[in-house]
């Protein structure tokens, strides 16, 4: 049975709940609109995520129009657990976020590389490959220039991995929302965590070539309550024991072509 695309997720605002998509264009920048917006902590001038503002993991976000490649990021609407909605086009969006997050913040769309003063992709890879005690200070490396993702445009997991974690933690509520992948691959071959064997290989989605670079090191975010999932320290403890705290793999599009991928599409894994 061939490997197939099982899920596609996009996260309009960094660290908020994601959107499940039936299909998407895939470009060298990843999924258009993924982490298109982020919260900036004004007193230090840094874009922050849920490690700083865990409340974001209970907030949903949606675009007012579908993002497209190479176009400005469209506005988003944030929806809070109390049912309140907040539109980024509103003049009081920053003050309302400041009240809710109890820090002076603002919300920013992706800006050009030249506007941002962030570490390079190589700096981030170096940081992620250090021992996990070191990358616990990952807040020093929030995003790469011109983007709001952590290190690479795509985070890929397999259904095998989620099933394996579920078996290891039968008392826990295991769900994709804890791990925030962009793409989930089904029928990915034998093994509990087959995507680790893809590191250094390429995945072929129709006309698109995706390079798998490294395992994704996991942090305290996997243990935080998210939406209706409770806090669970055993998630990260179990990953430490069984996968050296890794789950999923980071990847990027290396082909120059852009194409649409959809749930059910075949994925070819290079030798």
Q: Each residue of 178-223: pLDDT tens digit?
A: 999 999 999 988 899 999 999 999 999 999 999 999 999 999 999 9
Question: Would the pLDDT of 239 be above 90?
Answer: yes
Question: Would the pLDDT of 78 be above 90?
Answer: yes
Report the C-alpha gap between 189 and 201 in whole angstroms: 15
Report the C-alpha gap between 27 and 254 in whole angstroms: 9
Joined together, the tokens standing for residue 57 give: 């993991």
- Positive or negative: CA dihedral 242, 231, 251, 53: negative
Q: What angle do CA 65, 71, 77 make, to 5 degrees?
A: 30
Q: What is the mean pLDDT of residues 48-66?
A: 94
Taking the mean position of all CA atoms in its chain, how far away is CA 41? 20
The region, left, alpha or beta by phi > 0 then psi within -120 to 50, assigned to residue 176 is alpha
Q: Which of 123-137, 177-191, 226-240 has the lowest mean pLDDT?
A: 123-137
The 10 Å Cβ neighbour count of residue 42 is 13
Q: How confident is the model at residue 46 (pLDDT cuts 50, 70, 90)?
A: confident
Q: What is the mean pLDDT of the chain?
A: 88
Cβ proximity of 154 and 10 under 8 Å: no
Report the C-alpha gap between 251 and 249 in whole angstroms: 6
């Amino acid at each position: 049975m061939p490997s197939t695309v099982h899920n596609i997720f996009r996260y309009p605002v960094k660290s908020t709940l994601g959107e499940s998509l039936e299909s998407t264009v895939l470009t060298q920048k990843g999924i258009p609109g993924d982490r298109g917006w982020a919260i900036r902590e004004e007193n230090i001038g840094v874009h922050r995520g849920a490690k700083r503002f865990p409340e974001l993991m209970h907030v949903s976000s949606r675009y007012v129009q579908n993002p497209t490649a190479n176009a400005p990021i469209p506005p988003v609407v944030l929806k809070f657990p109390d049912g309140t909605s907040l539109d980024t086009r509103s003049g009081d969006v920053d003050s309302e976020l400041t009240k809710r997050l109890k820090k002076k913040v603002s919300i920013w769309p992706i800006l050009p590389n030249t506007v941002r003063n962030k570490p390079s992709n190589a700096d981030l890879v170096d940081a992620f490959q250090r021992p996990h005690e070191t990358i616990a200070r990952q807040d020093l490396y929030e995003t790469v220039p011109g983007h709001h993702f952590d290190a690479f445009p795509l985070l890929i997991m397999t259904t095998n991995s989620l099933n394996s974690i579920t078996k290891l933690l039968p008392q826990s509520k295991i769900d994709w929302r804890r791990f925030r992948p962009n793409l989930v691959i089904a029928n990915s071959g034998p093994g509990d965590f087959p995507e680790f064997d893809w590191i250094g290989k390429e995945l072929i989605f129709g006309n698109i070539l995706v390079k798998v670079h490294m395992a994704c090191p996991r942090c305290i975010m996997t243990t935080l309550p998210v939406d209706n999932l409770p806090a669970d320290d055993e998630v990260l403890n179990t990953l430490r024991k069984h996968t050296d705290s890794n789950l999923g793999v980071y990847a990027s599009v290396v082909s120059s072509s852009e194409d649409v991928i959809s749930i059910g599409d075949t994925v070819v894994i290079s030798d």
